[in-house]
Structures are given as structure tokens and as C-alpha cells.
Structure 1
Amino acid sequence: MDTLSMTPILNSVIFSILGIIILLLTYFLIEKITPENTWKEIVQKNNLAVAVVFAAFIIGISMIISAAIHG
């Protein structure tokens, strides 16, 4: 394979990793600014409301990152 055919694959991998890193950074930012430990609320206390809010957050941020990367 020549390098010209590998460019889209390499770009896809780089942007995927970049998107995952940005998503994790935003998760940790939200975790820091919320008063409760959200992971503890979701896992240990089985708080479904917090789980739904964080699922919506992750989907929303993922859509924003995807649109920003896609252009």
C-alpha cells in the first residue's frame, strides 16, 4: 500500500483518539464542578436520574465533538 491510501485511515484514527480524549476531559471537568461524586451516585447508590443526565451529557458532547471534527 502506498502512503496516499493510508492517509484517510491514519486521519480517522487520529481524530478518533482526539475525540475520545476531549470527551474524557469534559467528563472530568463536569465531575469536578458538580457537588456530588457522580460516579459514586450512579454505581453505588443506583441513582438512575444521574445516570440518565450523564448519558445525555455524553451523547451531547460526542455530537459536538463529531461535528467539530467533521467540519
Structure 2
Amino acid sequence: MELLKLDYLVASLAYSLLGVVVFWLAFIIIDRLTPYDLWKNLIEERNQALATVVAAMCLGIAIIVAAAIH
């Protein structure tokens, strides 16, 4: 029963929301720092190499955010 306590659930949801917000802010900052539009290259031009690099960057940011929250 201890795993189902309401305060644990609220804390998990709050940290999850915080992690998602920090992740998206980091992605937006990196998108602004690059000399070209990442979203346009990924979606419209379907640049597979850039998609792989962005995926690796997203995993790196997610690991950092998870470690910081943990």
C-alpha cells in the first residue's frame, strides 16, 4: 500500500512535468543556437543524418534531466 500513496504520485507527476518542460526548453535553445532551422530540416526535407544527431542529443538531454531530478 505504501507505493500507492497520493504524495508519491503527485511528486512523480510534478517531476515528470518538470522534466518534460526542461527537455523542451533545452531543445528550443539548441534549435535557436544552430544556424539552420532544425524542425524544417527534419520534417520538410527529411534529413535522416540530422534526425539521428537530434535523436542522440535528445537522449543526452533526457539522461541529464533524469539524473538531475533523481
Normalised TM-score (structure 1): 0.90
What do residues 27-58 of structure 1 show as CA deviations (whole Å, max 9, x unaligned)? 00001000000110011111011100110011
State the distance in 2 between where 1:44 and 1:6 align.
44
Which residue does the alignment assign to 1:42?
42
Residues matched between the structures, number:
66
Letter in 2 for 1:9: L
Q: Would you identify which runs of 4 or more consecutive aligned residues in structure 1 move more than 6 Å?
A: none
User: What secondary structure is seen at the aligned counterpart in 2 of 1:46?
Assistant: coil
Superposition RMSD on alpha carbons, in Å? 0.5
State the distance in 2 between where 1:39 and 1:52 align.
13
2:56 pairs with 1:56: yes
> Which structure 1 segments of 5+ residues have no match?
none
Normalised TM-score (structure 2): 0.91
Kindly report which structure 2 residues correspond to 1:23-42, keeping only aligned pairs within 5 A, or say none. Answer: 23-42=23-42
